[in-house]
Chains A and B, each alone.
Chain A
Amino acid sequence: MKTKFIINEIYQKLFRHSLQSLIYICVFMTLFLILGFFWMGLSHVDKIYLNWIGNDHSIVEIKKNTSQVEVEKLKDKLTKLLSAKVEIQDSKKNIERLKEKNKNFKILAKDLDIDLSQILPTTLKVSFQSSGNVEKELDSFKKLKEFTRSDARVSQIYLPESHLRSLSNFYRSYKNWGFSFLIWVCFTVVIIHSLLVSHLLTLHKKEMNIYKLLGISPILVQVPYLIYTFLLSLISFLAALSIIILAQIYVKKAQFSIEIDFETKDYLLFFILIQSVSLIISAFITRYYLLELSDE
């Protein structure tokens, strides 16, 4: 009879409050929509940043004795290797540009009678085209670096270090953001779930009081509530899981340069977290609120 009572209680609790269940689903759907908008907003930021970094350029300095033909070959090789615009800046042009930019240098060079062509050799200006993908952009920088190290015609490379650093930082934080997203989803779900469970449980105060005044053991009354809470937690967990999976699909489709990856142990941890929070709340509410008879 006691088992029948418990099963009946759980069934009643789950299906009697269909309106509350509906609210439950609506809250999660709203949560998901907010997430969707957030993702769209972030993809916009992504493009703005890449456009800006794309305007920058790297300088490849070529050894002084390299012939014009070799410089041309080098330019073609770089163009093929990278999705970048490569421009030859010969020594004369470079000297002129330097003179224009720095008048003191012009005077100094004249006074010291320095052959500026020895100091300012021919260079290649490499401007990356914005690919719209942070990972590709970083990959291009890496390729350029490896190329300049392996090619004997190149003396030095000047990467836009500051911008590269910004890009790396952005990339790193962007990667981390994937993890923050997961933490955020988990905690939002746990908080919303806890509030809803608390609300749903308080709806049963009247019947809990009836059980109490009939002298029915509080443990027998609490068991269906704990199972009910467990089932609600399972619903919350599945809802959170669907949000994460949908976000993963969305991120993949939108070809963002981040990944939302969860390991089994993370899921397990999240499940344990949501269950523990729910059961603590349930036990607390049933003991100190639902089973408390009014003194008035």
Chain B
Amino acid sequence: MSLEVKHLYKSFPSGKNILNGAKFKVEKGSFTFIQGESGAGKTTLFRMLAGLIKPSAGQVWVGGQRLRFDSEYSLMKHRQRLGLVFQDFKLLNHRSVLENISLPLLNVSEKSKLQDRVHKMIDELNLKDAAEQKVSTLSGGQMQRVALARALIHDPDYILADEPTGNLDAKHSEIVIELLHEASQRGKTVMVVSHDNEMIHMFGGEILTLKEGQVENQVYY
């Protein structure tokens, strides 16, 4: 399941151009870090790949099919195949950890196998004690782990994570990246927006560097 973008442009009503013809392709099972300076267009690219914002021009191809930004149904189906981790987590604060993690399972028809994953994931991410707690009572680090668990629970084909280790200590950062790495080894396409160069070099993979809205280079470590 490859992921390809062709000449992506995005300009906002304020007149600011965030993406200026970005293009790249990542193959199925790849583990790609997107890096770049602040304002290079990393988050905009992330949101566009998630089908959350429309490009001003250009195309996004997912698994050999062009993503139709004008079709709500097509976007919904696309999002069901994604696991998303946001910088601001986007969790339901009034719901428990367990409920938040289980949300993507609403889209899955065969839940029995995946139900077991919920508890396994909670264990792996050291969230067992907080499982019944409301998300609003958690620390930033715990929230980030809940967001990651929610992104992985339905075994999506693509995982997009925006700064998934931003609020975590070294130990938990390592766990998170390991989980993402494992997913890529199972054939999932993983793209991570990150500033953490040390971690990038530790795990290896592709590095996509963005500069002024364009892909400056795409290298493999």
Give A residues with C-beta under 8 Å from B.
1-2, 5, 8, 12, 16, 207, 209-218, 220, 293, 295-296
Given known contacts A210-B90, A213-B50, A218-B76, A1 and B105 CB-to-CB distance under 8 angstroms: yes
Interface size, chain B (Cβ < 8 Å): 28
Judged by DSSP, the binding face of A is helix
A296 to B92, CA, bound (A): 21
B199 contacts which chain A residues (CB < 8 A)?
A: none
Q: Can you list 6 A-B contacts (CB < 8 A)?
A: A12-B94, A209-B90, A212-B76, A213-B52, A214-B150, A295-B53
Give B residues with C-beta under 8 Å from A.
12, 50, 52-54, 72, 76-82, 84, 90-92, 94-95, 99, 102-107, 111, 150
Task: Name the distance in Å between B45's Cβ and chain A's nearest Cβ.
Answer: 15
Closest 3 CB pairs of A and B: A215-B79, A215-B80, A210-B90
Partner of A296, one of B12, B72, B107: B12
A2 to B107, CA, bound (A): 9
Most chain B CB atoms below 10 A, which of A8, A213, A218 = A213
Partner of A295, one of B54, B78, B111: B54
Partner of B107, one of A16, A215, A218, A293: A215
Chain B residue nearest to A221 in the complex (CB): B106
A215 touches B77 (CB 8 A): yes
Task: Name the distance in Å between A287's Cβ and chain B's nearest Cβ.
Answer: 10
Contacts A8-B99, A211-B103, A217-B107 supplied; 5 other A-B pairs, CB < 8 Å: A1-B105, A1-B106, A212-B76, A216-B106, A218-B76
Given known contacts A12-B94, A207-B92, A215 and B54 CB-to-CB distance under 8 angstroms: no
A209 to B107, CA, bound (A): 16
A1 to B103, CA, bound (A): 10
Task: Name the distance in Å between B10's Cβ and chain A's nearest Cβ.
Answer: 10
A216 touches B107 (CB 8 A): yes
B90 touches A215 (CB 8 A): no
B78 touches A215 (CB 8 A): yes
A212 contacts which chain B residues (CB < 8 A)?
A: 76, 79
A1 contacts which chain B residues (CB < 8 A)?
A: 102, 105-106, 111
B92 contacts which chain A residues (CB < 8 A)?
A: 207, 210
Task: Name the distance in Å between A39's Cβ and chain B's nearest Cβ.
Answer: 43
B52 touches A215 (CB 8 A): no
A57 to B90, CA, bound (A): 81
A215 contacts which chain B residues (CB < 8 A)?
A: 76-82, 104, 107
B72 contacts which chain A residues (CB < 8 A)?
A: 218
A212 to B77, CA, bound (A): 11
A293 to B69, CA, bound (A): 13
B52 touches A214 (CB 8 A): no
A214 touches B79 (CB 8 A): yes
A256 to B67, CA, bound (A): 70
Task: Name the distance in Å between B43's Cβ and chain A's nearest Cβ.
Answer: 11
Given known contacts A12-B94, A296-B12, A214 and B111 CB-to-CB distance under 8 angstroms: no
A16 touches B111 (CB 8 A): no
